[in-house]
Structure 1
Amino acid sequence: MNTEMRHLRYFVALAEEEHFSRAAARCRVSQPTLTRAVAALERSLGVRLVQRTTRSVALTDAGHRLHAELTELLPRMEAAFARVRADAGLRLGFTWLLPSGIVGRILTDFEAATGVPVELVRRDDRLAGVDVGAVDAALLHGTVDDPALAPVRLRSEERVAVVARDHPLGRRRRLQWTELAGLPLVVNSVSGTVGPELWPAECRPAVAVECATYDAWMEMVALGRGFGVLPESARRHPHPGVRYISLADAPPVPLVLVLPARAAHPLADELTAAARTAAASAD
């Protein structure tokens, strides 16, 4: 048999509505789509389920028997599927900064559409574990050039400078990108997105400290060992030891949803749709 769940759902709707147009509206499909699905179910079973006339729809004896069986079975099957989805979940990785302005919307829309819960997983790793299967997808800042991965660009963010609270520049409200070239730079060498190469070769900041985690990076900046640069959304995550200063002419940083190029999660399309909607709404 080549029968899909939607064929069974459409047939139950038709049996209960006794009208193709009303059944199609109930299932939120076109009438031809529902008609073809019921016909496909009949071909698969090799029996006629519905007697059709120009004015009425009536179930055959086989149709009545099937409807009685499905009335009990379909809710049990759908409940079983829902339990499996809820137990499995989807793991969404991130490195050091969640774009809090949109992540809540992504989770809410995705979970409402699929019934599948999302687990947020932080990893101090450039790709948040999506490249090794530790997570099913990842929200990352920066570019991704791995042929095994499929990045989906969601939006671009401006950058802000991060300096110690008592730094002489801490009183400024805005800095030029080129002003930073003469200052010591703190670099997150594992998962960061900013290094000296973002400045022109003839005018680059010197690296004062290299860190392997975001937390260590933030503490080095707070201690005054050098300045750092983060996406604008970092302002949503204040730190008592630093100040965020707007930057003029800084190269924007992309926010991307990253999925495996092959064998992605079965709900990857739904996650991508939720992420795009959330990013568009935030813009």
Structure 2
Amino acid sequence: MVGGILWATGNICVVPIVKTIGLGLGLCVWSSVQLLVGWANGRFGLLGVEAEIPNNLVMNYVGVSISLVSTVLYAFVKPDIKPITMDITIPAPVAEWADSKGIRMAQPKVVELNDMEGNPPVKPSPGELFLERWSPAKKKIIGIILSAFSGVMYAVQFIPARYTQEHDNGASQNSIDYVFAHYCGIYLTSTLYFIIYALFRRNRPKVFHQVIVPGIVSGLMWGVGTASWFIANKALSDPVSFPIVSTMSMGISLLIGIVAFKEIKGRRNISIVVFAMMFTIGGAVVTGLSKT
């Protein structure tokens, strides 16, 4: 459950990260930190767990380096996402004129305002946070700090389960046995954070009903993926699994952005994605071979 608490604590930073530095840079920072911290902890045993030394240490170092380069390359991709628009109709003074028979006619004029980039906002966005009004430099600093913090939390979420397996007599050595407790920790911690948020909002939390079902589906997909990650850590060891998982998820996300959402366009962006994917796949292969 402690591992779930750590993950949920890192995950609550995602929305502020997206609001300050965007998903692309935020994902790059926390994936890089997650890769390095998870790999280093597994390789050197930094947090009370036993060090896991790959069979081919040089190949493992090379694979981690290649994977890290791929995460940096992904940061240069610039998604083509249109800003949110809000059309507002404002009645103007009534215009009067006379028709051909001399009858006076009246019709209100309509002024439409678009809250587009570069124009002053007509009304606040329903999801606007106070930190969005900070200066660009301040937002970037805070966003990078939060991304690094999230990366650390994501990397150490597996440590409590590993510590239990290595130090408690009779503890199950099957990693899947720890998944339910891990998810219970996430559920309880997320509930606590939501209660704190609701109290902070004076019982008027902003809940967007359009994302409830997609959020549940996303959570189910994440649950299957993280359960698989538990198994991969046990089968491959952290120094091997972390570089693979941390980089492949970024590559797949960008490919979905190209194919499904059409948010990544242009020869330059697609070339960067293809080039970075070559590093991602190469790093994953070399890191995986370091186990043999």
TM range (shorter): under 0.3
TM-score when scaled to structure 2?
0.25
Larger radius of gyration: 1
Between 1 and 2, higher relative CO (CA 8 Å, sep ≥ 6) is seen in 2
Higher helix share: 2
TM-score when scaled to structure 1?
0.26
